[in-house]
Amino acid sequence: MFNSIYKRISTRTYKNETLKDQDQEEIIKIVNQYKSIKGPFGNGFDFTFSLNEKNQEKGKKIGTYGVIKNPPAFIGGVSKNTEESIIDFGFVFENLLLTLTSKGFDSCWLGGTFKRKEYNEKLDENEIIPAISPIGYRADKTTLLEKSMRKLVGARKRLSTDILFKQYNNEKPIDMLDKSFINTCLELVQLGPSASNKQPWRVYLEENIAHFYIERTPKYPSVSLGYDIQALDIGIALCHFTTGLHHFKKNFEYRKLENAITFTNQEYMLSIKFDFE
Ligand SMILES: Cc1cc2nc3c(=O)[nH]c(=O)nc-3n(C[C@H](O)[C@H](O)[C@H](O)COP(=O)(O)O)c2cc1C
């Protein structure tokens, strides 16, 4: 999982071939395992796997507005439309995608550019499909469209650690030259995928507690999408941070503070208290 964070890259062009039975079975097994995993706020999800069989009779074509090429299959899931559930979805779905990355599969979070109605019609009131992902093997050559898409969102770029990570009590930047395990955990957060690569996560360190905040992008299309897409990014950040803690074999627990410090343009989300030993 730890290495998968370094390996993962949003893949929009897939090999033009169907998934072998063995691959399908492996993916389905992992997807099923994640149905019993819960996020930090205790929500679990009913994930689904579906082949993208273009000629299948009555087959649903999920469609991707041309951004994703040759996707052999998709995985996705349903969440309640609440902030906590969407954060949990981000957390569990990213864990699922990283596990699939560790098995050699490629993926790409899709929050905005798929036809939701055609993916799953049986949604209850107040239920949403926050995101789906194609799953398969990346093509040897990427398309021009993918290249321009990556350039448009500056896909490789990340905000500096000075902006993302600060000390809780004085808002000074963290000394990232100090190669402690906690700085590595922060670097894992920095490497995370986020909607349009906006990287809304902000982390404040207070001794052995990391406080997670969101700095929302003004006018980001949460309103037109009907749900808080950037809450997914916070779940992803929590997933990456805790992947680091697991890697370094540190115990930790989640805490929701009643009176967290307020920082300009940011909203408090959740804290993680970890052991140094
Ligand atoms: C919640 C979420 C939604 C996303 N939605 C889309 C999307 O609709 N279309 C797309 O091409 N990429 C989408 N992405 C992928 C991001 O653009 C990508 O993660 C970011 O540019 C960083 O690139 P990287 O994942 O290769 O590191 C989404 C990512 C996240 C986390």
Q: Delimit the domains of the chain by residue range.
A: 2-145, 157-274
The domain over range 2-145 is classified in CATH as 3.40.50.150: no
Residue having the nearest C-alpha atom to atom 19 of ligand 1: 193
Q: Kindly tell me if the per-residue pLDDT of 201 is higher than 80.
A: yes
Q: Does residue 108 line the site of ligand 1, with CB under 6 A?
A: yes
112 band by pLDDT with thresholds 50, 70 and 90: confident
Residue 186 Cα distances to 137, 201, 231, 238, angstroms: 29, 11, 18, 10
Contact 189, 237 (CB under 8 A): yes
57 pLDDT tier (thresholds 50, 70, 90): very low
Task: Output the CA 51–ligand 1 centroid distance in Å.
Answer: 21
Is the dihedral angle over the CA atoms 19, 20, 23, 24 positive or is it negative? Answer: positive
Pocket test for ligand 1, best of 196, 214, 216, 228 (most atoms within 8 A of CB): 196
Beta strands, E only, 131-266: 132-136, 165-167, 201-206, 209-214, 252-255
Q: Do domains 2-145 and 157-274 have the same CATH topology?
A: yes
State in Å: Cα 175 to ligand 1 middle: 29
Classify the phi-psi angles of 40: left when phi > 0, otherwise alpha if psi is within -120 to 50, otherwise beta.
alpha
Distance 169 CA to ligand 1 centre (A): 32
222 lines ligand 1 (CB under 6 A): no
d(CA 164, CA 243): 18
Fold of 157-274: NADH Oxidase (3.40.109)
Integer Cα distance of 270 and 242 in angstroms: 13
Give the confidence band of 62 by pLDDT, cuts at 50, 70, 90: low
pTM attached to this predicted model: 0.94
* Mean pLDDT for the stretch of residues 214-240: 89
Q: Give the mean pLDDT of 146-150.
A: 74
Distance separating alpha carbons of residues 143 and 133, to the nearest angstrom: 18
Please give the pLDDT value at position 55.
Answer: 47
> Which range among 33-42, 103-112, 135-144, 233-242 shows the weakest confidence by mean pLDDT?
135-144
